[in-house]
Amino acid sequence: MFGDLFEEDEEGFSPVPSGGRFVKGKEAEPPPPRGNVNLSGIKNQGGTCYLNSLIQTLLFTPEFREELFSLGPDELGNLTDKDNPDAKVRVIPLELQRLFAHLLLVNQQTASTSDLTDSFGWTNNEETSQHDVQELNRILFSALESSLVGTSGSDLIHRLYHGTLVNQIVCKECSNVSERQEDFLDLTVSVRGVSSLEEALWSMFVEEELFQGNNLYRCSRCDQLVQAAKSAKLRKLPPFLTMSLLRFNFDFAKCERYKETGRYTFPLTIDLRPFCEQRESPDSDYLYELFSVIIHKGGCYGGHYHVYIKDIDQLGHWEPPEEDMKEKKRQKQGEREKEREREKEREKEREKERDKEGVPHIKEVRTNEPVPDRADPLSVLTAILSQDQPRGVLVDQLSQKLMAKIGTSWNKTFRKQYGPIGKFLQSHSDVFLLVDKGTRAVLKATSPPGPGSKVAEEVTEVGRSSEATEAPKSSPEGAQEVQMESLSEGEERCREGDGQGEREGEGGCRWFDLNDSSVTAIRQRDIQKQFEGKESAYMLFYRRASLCRPPEALGNPAYRVPLHLMQMVQEENGRLQQRREEFDASSNSIEVRLHLAPHYRANMGALQPVGEPKNAVITITFDRRKSIGDLRLAVYQMQDLWEGDMALTVAQSLPAGLHLYDTLTDDQQSLYSAGVNSGCDLFVWNGREVGGSVVRTGAEWEPLLLTVVRPSDGEEPDEETGGPSSSPPSSSSCSGPGAPPSGLVRSMQGFARGATLGTVREALGPPEALLCRETSRGGAGATGGGAGGEGGGASGWKVFPPQDMQRTLKELALKDGDALLLLEPHTLDSSIFSLSGDTVTVTTPSDCRWLQVEFRGEEEEEEEEEEERKRRGKVPASGNMLLSEVRQKAIEELDLKDKLKGLECCLRQVDRSGNLLPPVYDDITVREAGIRLMTTLYLCLGPAPKSTQLFLYFTVGSAPPAVQEWDIIVDEALTVRECLTRMRTKAGLGGDAWHLNRMDWDDEVGEVLMDENATLSEARVSHGDKLILSAGLLPPKGFLKISVWLYVDLRENAVSMETEVDHASEGAESQTQEVIAVECLGAELKSVGKVEITEEASLDDLKTQVMTLPALSEMCVPTPAFVRVWTMEGHKLGKILRGHQHSLRKLKVTNGVGICVQRLLKEEDLGPRDLLLHVQMGVPGERHYFPWEEFVWEAGSDASPRALRVALSAHYGLSPDSLLMAKRLPDKHSWMPVSTWTQQVSKRKKKKKNDNLQGAPYYLKDGDTMGIKNLLIDSNRDFSTLEDELEQQRLREDAERLKKGGQSDSVEANQEAASGRKAGQGKNRKPEAALSINVGVFR
């Protein structure tokens, strides 16, 4: 069903995996048991909703079900022998039996039809494609008849569903009757033009069709044309009558299918006597009752089926829908209000009468309900539940009702003394009873509950399921017991309910909506909602009213189920119960980590393990349904030497260590209710102290791990201050051993988030000390380490203002790992620290001030590793040192004075790929150049630029790496023209016909530097940019330089034109002419030169100037209207420029664009909405086409496929219905058929989808090739040619070679998808395939 549904209706469903199997992750989860309705649904395998609806209808046809069950293994065979070729196994009836038994008796919410569809011989295509339920009904009955040949059930379908009708023609002259009898399994009735089923049957079987006038009938007796009357009658009625409604029709005017959604009524009971030939039988033989309605939701190209079914045998548990209960409650409340008003009026009248008679007033005291004791929870809950008998109250809603009753909640009033409300109900089992799997509470009656109560239902259900499981598997007495138990349950269910629910239940009007896996109870009046609309009735199933069910079948799903199927069901139920118990145990098992207090000590506001951390933690597996007291007892038993109290506190590992939060105090509370999940940490201690230190718990005492930075005293930091093992490796000093006390030392310390900043300062140092916060976190150097700080060796810190001393660390938004600098006043006298306002600058210690320099020469020499080490070394540096000084020190350090004598050299950095960057400026500092200390620079040959100069790369003619690349250093004040001159001189180029282009990021020729008088800085040329020297002068300002190509048609009618072009090109400059082949059009594109023209010129001016090119000077063109101008997109034709007088600016023609001119044989003036197409007519019976011809389509406001089809049919003189179109995809050598059908209205977007050919998926534009075929003389709908297949094979081979050459899988997949796609596989609907069921031969 879902195949086309999502293209049409966009319901948003996602198909399940093939075969209806669960996805990974849910495989271990057992299927859920049946719901309250006690009926089983059927899984949808992706598109089998039509099958599910029909299977449920057959299941709830008791006579069909019992006839099928009556066929034993001796007639049908055994499924275990189905793979044996010598065994005669009738697989389809056997699988249908197993499915019916599963749906009736297995305690599972849904059943699967995968085994049944496998017996049909279906694959994923049938399970996910669209099919019609009426078609399936006929094919399934035919398959069953073929499967049951030679058995006692060979006439099963014939007896239950086979009927006959007779067509008669009566001659008006001689009264001769000519008749023809027809058999039917279902009646197909019209929907169009009628409003009800009775009206449709009346027009089919009562009204006569007269042959008169020009339409006479030839009578066989009279042997002449005479007047006659034609009619049809039902001759034999089957026990079960199936009506198929013709909802889908075809509109011949619009050439599209549509669905009839108008109102069409059908009765619940119908009398067929007026439509029958023989009417002498009893009335009961003509009376039929509706018991199943298959409903279709969606459009004519896709949708979804579900079914309304009447539970004749009362197998399900029918409850009024929730909406009905609410409405009924509101009606009762309204009736009570009206009764109170009437009672007040009557009381007033009685008081008036007593006043007249002089009778004294006596105040009447009424007690409608007992007043509960608010301090007694038993009394309060009893009063609440007594008002909601017999259905009871959901446990989740009980607290709300209690608050409404006494004005306070359970947790606030009773929880501390009595525990959770659920536990209180369980502890008073003599008063309360939990039903519906413990979700609903009711009062336990003092006397045995009646069969109509909810309690009786629960007790019966439990008894039925348990006794059915314990029944002997091999004895027929066990099966009989199950039948009797189900019978008693059905009798009780018949008597349950009140009001409308009781009437519907006892009257047999138990209707259910079976929608794949979902089964819900509905009212009988809900059937009227399916009379009309997008979701409406599609098939109706009636049964003869005289068919009665035996009393032992009511409420007994095991009635007449064979013993071997009963045993299979019991085994399956046992396996399911075992799986659910195992899953329940595994899903409730959690792993808890117990941290033992004797192995911890308190440090820095957190708990740190002492000794080996693995000895401090014990991991145990526990059932989360057990109570905290059970867990505490288990821990006691594991810790034999534990003395005193034991507290279990929820803990969490933080960067500072382990922190404690809430202590679990309620021993009656379950671990699940307490929020203890798998992976939770619990701390086991006495609840007061750890290792003699008092431990504070709660979120407000959560520790924060801070990095404390202090001035170094020349000694290594104490390892004890290093914090926990998780502290970062930067917790060290920048000064080495023996260095002066000029560095910084860092340590990790923990503080409570709720502590104030003043408290932190008191803990760290004297009150007069300054506490600072770093201003940035650019790197490790930001903390004073100098390992990578911006600016080459200094970092900034901001002093906390005095008012922040009263704020907490949480209010200051400090996080784990944040650094605080602690400075005493005397340290500010040092040269390392400088205070300016509220900012402290820390200069990097001396031993961290260095740069590594490596020499890289032009020649590649093979040197030993020792020689290589001599050419790499560290150079002392600081942020304020000039880079020229760094360069000189590097030459001295690397001992390169002699080698570089008389040579210029510079310093350069490298990018992440190892490529050299432009040289750094020689006259700026390390900090100004943005170079980090402790990084590497490369000493290279070449001049070093000044800060007022630019280092530029340039190539000649094209982008690298095709040609040589040069570099040049120029002053940024030079103009573009002067820079161009220097570049030409360095490259050895002569002449003045050159200009500069930028190089784009992808190494392609980019923007032209138009203003040659502007300086390089004004032209936004930056240090390290790449430029390209291109041949040719710059056009004047406001002018465009346009490349011109000529369209040369290679077909026979273009020989003369090509001769003119070749003759004209003889006098042109002898240059290599570039040619592009356009094979699909049989043409070539030849480069003929360039033109310069102002952007304000018109299109006609452009055509005139193009014709002055030497290569086109001999071409005869009367006027510019005989020339067509295409834009070039890459090396392909783009769009046609329209509007003779439109300026090039308006046509968006830019500098450097390419155009292609084409000479025409007649004048052309295309409108803005006209499309020029190349149309090819297919040769009938052959796989090639006639030569293409140009066709101008006036798309206008309607660019739909139908508009193009009408235009082409008018052009060729054909009928639109006989024309088939496809767009050619030249890159893929395939064709995309243009759909015939108009797309429907999207359900989600509530608007018509776009069917414009200029949009997705066709994107029709100028120059596209359209193939057309005349279906009247050409039956071949495939547009591909033999050449297409050869080219597709070549593309596949190319893709395979690319795959072997290391191309990515995605590229290869895209190429294969492009080349391997067959014609017709656009974004079209999948073709509807015929449905079939494979049946073995049993004759």
**Which residues are marked as active site?**
49, 304
Return the structure tokens found at 317: 């548990």
Rounded to an integer, what distance in angstroms lies between the CA atom of residue 443 and that of residue 455? 9
Query: Which stretches of 41-162 are DSSP H helices?
Result: 49-59, 62-69, 73-76, 91-105, 114-120, 124-128, 133-147, 156-161
Rounded to an integer, what distance in angstroms lies between the CA atom of residue 715 and that of residue 736? 9
Give 383's DSSP letter. Answer: H
Dihedral Cα 712, 717, 722, 728, nearest 10 deg: 60
Residue type, 338: K
Question: Distance of CA 1199 to CAs 1134, 1204, 1205, 1207, 1261, Å?
Answer: 20, 7, 10, 11, 11
Q: Which of 652, 666, 764, 656 is nearest to 697 (CA)?
A: 652
Whether 796 contacts 777, CB under 8 Å = no
**Please, which residues bridge with residue 434 across strands?**
441
Give 1092's DSSP letter. Answer: E
Whether 783 contacts 707, CB under 8 Å = yes
DSSP string, 426-495: HHTTTTEEEETTTTEEEEPPSSPPPTTSHHHHHHHHHHHHHHHHHS-SS-HHHHHHHHHHHHHHHHHHHH
Return the structure tokens found at 69: 């069950």
**Please, which residues bridge with residue 651 across strands?**
660, 681
Give 531's DSSP letter. Answer: G
DSSP string, 1159-1195: E-SS-----TTEEEEEEEEBPTTSS-BPPPEEEEEE-
Whether residue 472 has a cis bond before it, omega within 30° of 0: no
Rounded to an integer, what distance in angstroms lies between the CA atom of residue 952 and that of residue 949? 10
Question: Distance of CA 1149 to CAs 1004, 1045, 1106, 1140, 1243, Å?
Answer: 20, 15, 15, 14, 43
Q: Is 541 helix (H, G, I), strand (E, B) or coil?
A: strand
Whether residue 1257 has a cis bond before it, omega within 30° of 0: yes
Q: Is 320 helix (H, G, I), strand (E, B) or coil?
A: coil
Q: What are phi and psi of 726, to 5 degrees?
A: -85, 5
Question: Distance of CA 771 to CAs 61, 194, 694, 718, 831, Å?
Answer: 86, 91, 28, 21, 19
Burial class (CB in 10 A: 0-12, 13-18, 19+), 897: exposed
Question: Distance of CA 1213 to CAs 406, 1184, 1279, Å?
Answer: 88, 21, 21
Strand order in the sheet with 1075-1078: 1075-1078, 1083-1094, 1039-1049, 1154-1159, 1123-1129, 1132-1136
Residues 6+ apart with CB under 8 A from 1317: 1228, 1230
Return the structure tokens found at 720: 């004890």
Q: What are phi and psi of 246, to 5 degrees?
A: -80, 80
Strands (E), 1213-1261: 1219-1225, 1230-1233
**What number of residues does the chain have?**
1339
Q: Which of 467, 439, 466 is nearest to 454 (CA)?
A: 439
Rounded to an integer, what distance in angstroms lies between the CA atom of residue 61 and that of residue 542? 10
Q: Which of 1263, 1267, 1292 is nearest to 1177 (CA)?
A: 1267
